[in-house]
Amino acid sequence: MIAIPYLTALTTYFSYGLLFAFGQFRDFFRKIFDWCSSNNLQGYAPICLGLEDFYIRRLYLRIQDCFGRPISSAPDAWFDVVERHSNDNNKTLKRTSKVSRCLNLGSYNYLGFAAADEYCTPRVIDTLKKYSPSTCSTRVDGGTTALHNELEECVASFVRKPAALVFGMGYVTNSAILPVLMGKGSLIISDSLNHNSIVNGARGSGATIRVFQHNMPAHLEEVLREQIAEGQPRTHRPWKKIMVIVEGIYSMEGELCKLPEVIAICKKYKAYTYLDEAHSIGAVGKSGRGVCELLGVDTADIDIMMGTFTKSFGSCGGYIAGSKELIEYLKYTCPAHLYATSISPPAAQQIISSIKVLLGEDGSSRGAQKLAKIRENSNYFRSELQKMGFEVLGDNDSPVMPIMLYNPAKIPAFSRECLRQNIAVVTVAFPATPLLLARARICISASHSREDLTHALQVISNVGDLVGIKYFPAEPTKQQQDGKTVKFE
């Protein structure tokens, strides 16, 4: 849990309260002017109503230049950010022909495969010439090529499960699979900070949903015991099945899941385990096989393994890995497999090639070097940020490191000043995070050099001093320590 300093919480509440009050004040006069002017709705109710619309109009649009910034190059260590301008106080943004060359601290390009690669890129180009960009069909019609079968075998072998099924979109992998596996009379127990795709998939399943406190196995066991004892609502019959859903690395916190403890509890109470490795597969572990390898967990203890190819593999799509019986069942029942266009052949080839690089099957040691580099870069950058006095979330080895901003005024201030100094960062606020817990999410890549990271740290430190987000005292530098040393003769 994040412990917000009292003064920070107070000023953040005050800032949002002030914005809310002025927004309501402006809306009041807007209604008067709209009433006086002609009504163009012609009897229709406004299609956008409620607090969400209010938040977008009165808060988000003020700082929308900090989000959705277009780029015009590959998302490598450095990329080109297209400059935009607004003539109506950020209500609309227009692109210009100017670009800024910026250090990329926002993309999920953990292993650097999103840029041109000496092994992957030629094979992807050959696949594009042979198969075209799309199969233009679903998997069950004409959308399965030899590449798709090879990819599923490659993924299953890589994550050490008997079989796997791939999809064209990572978000859909969760949101379409859960309604197939769970239904009325089933129980889903989900971490409170699980990704939105899991939340929507669980809601769409019709199963009963219970939430346990983030990354707290003790509370998970408490919820499990209580729900097993009570049974289904009203009838109190035993649950048809129970599934516990966790993530390998939590995307907004950068924390590693306490997987060994979760598995022990699931085994104790005979609950299925569903592991989302979107941000951990490829990025952590000695050979890039995710949190199971990093934490010493046997993949046989995980009933369903999910992951995406958009982070570490420089491609798109997602996968489900499990028993052969599970995968066969999904092939006949999952709408994402039956009705959605299959994953693009060049994207499939990119995934196959990048996995071969990680495993050294390309005849080089570049895969091992990339894994060592992402671990080294992540731990160096995190430790240096903490020494500077920033409040940084997450665990060592995680390439995701959120820097807490809290106050709404500091979101655009931090983002714009970093961009002005050619550092591209991603700021995250409500509704992606709780209202008080706005943050800047840094994503480190193996393609970053030590010089890149040192430069970024210097800029972020200066911006942090300017904006006022160093919530902890900084550690003294080596020069300061040497200056305080007194020699006695």
Residue 144 contacts by C-beta under 8 Å, 6 or more apart in sequence?
Answer: 135, 342
- Identify the pLDDT of residue 435: 86
Sign for the CA dihedral angle at 437, 442, 254, 432 comes to positive
pLDDT tens-digit readout, 187-203: 999 999 999 999 999 99
pLDDT at 53: 83
Distance in angstroms (rounded) separating the CA atoms of residues 230 and 160: 36
Tokens 């996995």, residue?
355
DSSP secondary structure of 412-428:
HHHHHHHHHTTEE-EEE
Q: Is 133 helix (H, G, I), strand (E, B) or coil?
A: coil
> Cβ distance 62 to 91 under 8 Å?
no
Q: Compute the distance between CA of residue 34 and CA of residue 30 in angstroms, rounded to an integer.
A: 6
What is the per-residue pLDDT for 488? 44
Locate the domains of the chain by residue range: 2-104+368-488, 120-358
Average pLDDT over residues 200-221: 97
DSSP H or E stretch at residue 306: strand 304-308
| CATH architecture group of domain 120-358 | 3-Layer(aba) Sandwich (3.40)
- According to the model, what pLDDT value does residue 478 have? 63
Which residue do the tokens 């005024």 mark? 409
**Residues 156-164, mean pLDDT to the nearest whole number:** 97
Can you tell me which residue has the tokens 């650097």?
Answer: 112
In terms of DSSP bridges, do strands 272-276 and 423-424 run parallel, antiparallel, or are they unpaired? unpaired
pLDDT of residue 485 exceeding 60: no
Half-sphere exposure in the Cβ direction for 145 (13 Å, CA): 21
Looking at this protein, which amino acid is placed at residue 408? P
Alpha helix (H) residue ranges in 37-84: 51-55
94-150 residue pLDDT tens: 999 999 999 999 999 999 999 999 999 999 999 999 999 999 999 999 999 999 999
Q: Is this model's pTM higher than 0.95 or not?
A: no
- The amino acid that residue 79 corresponds to is F
Give yes or no for residue 356 having a pLDDT over 80. yes
Given a cut of 70, whether residue 36 has pLDDT beyond it is: no
pLDDT at 486: 46
Residue at token pair 């900084």: 474
98: closest CA among 87, 111, 110, 85? 85
Q: What is the mean pLDDT of residues 42-51?
A: 74
Assigned CATH class of 2-104+368-488: alpha beta
